[in-house]
Amino acid sequence: MAVYTEVTDEDLAQFMSAYDLGQVLSLKGIAEGVENSNYLLRTQGGTFILTLYEKRVNEADLPFFLNLMEHLAARGLVCPQPVKARDGQALGRIAGRPAVLVTFLEGMSVRRPSAAHCEMVGEALAHLHGAGADFPMRRDNSLSVPGWAALYEGAHGRADEITQGLSSLIEREVASLSEVWPRDLPQGIIHADLFPDNVFFLGGHLSGLIDFYFACTDAFAYDAAICLNAWCFEPDASFNVTKGRAFLAGYARVRPLSEAEIAAFPVLARGAALRFLLTRLVDWLNVPTGAMVRPKDPMEYVKKLRFHQHVTSARDYGWLA
């Protein structure tokens, strides 16, 4: 979450006139995240998140995201729900941007996940994959292998501003992973961005998942590899095999991984690290002037990528057959 677009009192009044939520009590920008503009909105009718869609979000994809959240909730997954205006539509416009209100979830994200947190996230991710099995819509992953070259082209001329040799590292990885990327693994709806700030805990239990705006149709094991990168490394980018083992065990308890998925896991984890290195690099080099946003350091994923380059099997991540 972040704030790129300022919402004036007039903008908000016009937008809220379409809803039956009572008087607006407060509106506060949320600095976390990097993709969309987000505000915490309190009204007489409750507390909500107001999201204005920016940057990589294609407006044509918004019905997919909103319908998916409703679908997953109907199957028992706790996630935000779009709030519909009086005309029955969830999607509106504010300050020249497509926008939506979603329900507010109670809970807190964790800064330093424990192995127990990782295990709960593994279970939740597998439940998400199961809950999306009968979702009728499809969205291709624009930030998988076909999109990496374009991201690289948009940043490679300045990549060495971050650290010398980064441009050549990315070029080699894009070429190498494109050749060996597995394309026949079980797939369906994935979250594709289930980082710690997108998972809430309350009273020692996982209380909900948020931010489905990268959700798409792709390999389930790739989604698990994204999570492993996000949850199972320490702040110094060293891999914590205890957390990795807990995450993988939690996932497999709900949805056992196939032999092909296990064999492909090192390549998937390496690709997941490259994907977030690329998008973080682009964001780091292109922060809009005056935006209320804290771009994330791409070097974190350079370190993770280098770890994955030396992995030989899923056992290195804690997988126990």
What are the pLDDT digits (tens) for 46-77? 999 999 998 768 899 999 999 999 999 999 99
Q: How far from chain centre, in Å, is Cα 137? A: 19
What is the pLDDT confidence band of residue 296, given thresholds at 50, 70 and 90? Answer: confident
Residue 4 confidence (pLDDT)? 74
What is the percentage of the chain residues whose pLDDT exceeds 70? Answer: 95
Q: What mean pLDDT do residues 93-102 have? A: 94
Cα torsion 188, 194, 200, 205 to 10°: value is 60
- Split at pLDDT 50, 70, 90, the class of 320 is confident
Report the C-alpha gap between 144 and 159 in whole angstroms.
20
Take residue 151 and report the two structure tokens written for it.
Answer: 């991201």
Find the mean pLDDT for residues 106-112: 94
Please check whether the two domains, 9-103 and 115-317, share a CATH topology: no
Residues 216-240 have pLDDT tens digits of 999 999 999 999 999 999 999 999 9
Lowest-confidence region among 3-12, 63-72, 93-102, 288-297: 288-297
Domain 9-103 adopts which CATH fold? Phosphorylase Kinase; domain 1 (3.30.200)
C-beta of residue 307 within 8 angstroms of C-beta of residue 237: yes
CATH superfamily placement of domain 115-317: Aminoglycoside phosphotransferase (APH), C-terminal lobe (3.90.1200.10)
Q: Which of 60, 74, 30 shows the shortest CA–CA distance to 293? A: 30
Over the chain, what is the mean pLDDT? Answer: 93
Q: What is the mean pLDDT of residues 258-284?
A: 96
Q: Residue-wise over 168-191: b if at least 16 C-beta within 10 A, else e? A: ebbeebbeebeeebbeebebbbbb
| Domain residue limits, the chain | 9-103, 115-317
Look up the pTM and report it.
Answer: 0.93
pLDDT digits (tens, 9 = 90+) for 119-133: 999 999 999 999 999
- Residue 308 CA: distances (Å) to CA of 140, 228, 313: 25, 11, 10
- Closest by alpha carbon to 46, among 20, 8, 15? 20
What pLDDT, on a 0 to 100 scale, did the predictor assign at position 1? 40
CA atoms within 13 A on the CB side of 210: 23
Residue written as token pair 């504010």: 94
CA–CA distance, 27 with 47 (Å, rounded to integer): 10
**Residues whose CB is less than 8 angstroms from the CB of residue 18 and which lie 6 or more positions away in sequence, other chains included:** 85, 86, 87, 92
